[in-house]
Amino acid sequence: MASKTVITFGTFDVFHVGHVRVLNRSAALGDRLVVGVSSDKLNFSKKGRNPVFSQEERLEIVANVKAVDEVFIEESLEQKREYVRQHKADILVMGDDWQGKFDHLNDICQVVYLPRTPSVSTTAISEQIVGNS
């Protein structure tokens, strides 16, 4: 059987257990995991604020997760089709907060949405740190 490449995307800011779980679950769907880490600019355009950690730091953290084979910077949400092609991905994995949003890529890869880990988020962690200070 041919080896399968999985691709997933995310900001992965203030890296936490929800992030490591989604990467492990993504990797388990294939043989090789490629991760697109959102650029600072893309993050600013989506959320109106800069991430806590810079794109270079987030890229370095994700690249050092055991399940991850390759990383690159995701510059734009609209380039998903090109990224899937470039990396010869067989499966695109997204968190279920994106449910249905990438179904149109079904013609070039399998699209899988995974449930998020409950009760953990970068925003909640930041608020807790601010509240404790």
Closer residue to ligand C2G (CB): 32 or 114: 114
Query: C-beta of 126: minimal distance to ligand C2G in Å?
Result: 13
Q: What is the 3-state secondary structure (H, E, C) of the chain?
A: CCCCEEEEEECCCCCCHHHHHHHHHHHCCCCEEEEEEECHHHHHHHHCCCCCCCHHHHHHHHHCCCCCCEEEEECCHHHHHHHHHHCCCCEEEEEHHHCCCCHHHHHCCEEEEECCCCCCCHHHHHHHHHHHC
Q: For ligand C2G, which residue of 5, 6, 7, 9 counts as binding (CB under 6 A)? A: 9
90 touches ligand C2G by CB under 6 A:
no
Site mask for ligand C2G (CB under 6 A), range 33-72, x = bound: -----x----------------------------------
| Contacts of ligand C2G in 97-126 (CB under 6 A) | 97, 116-117, 120-121
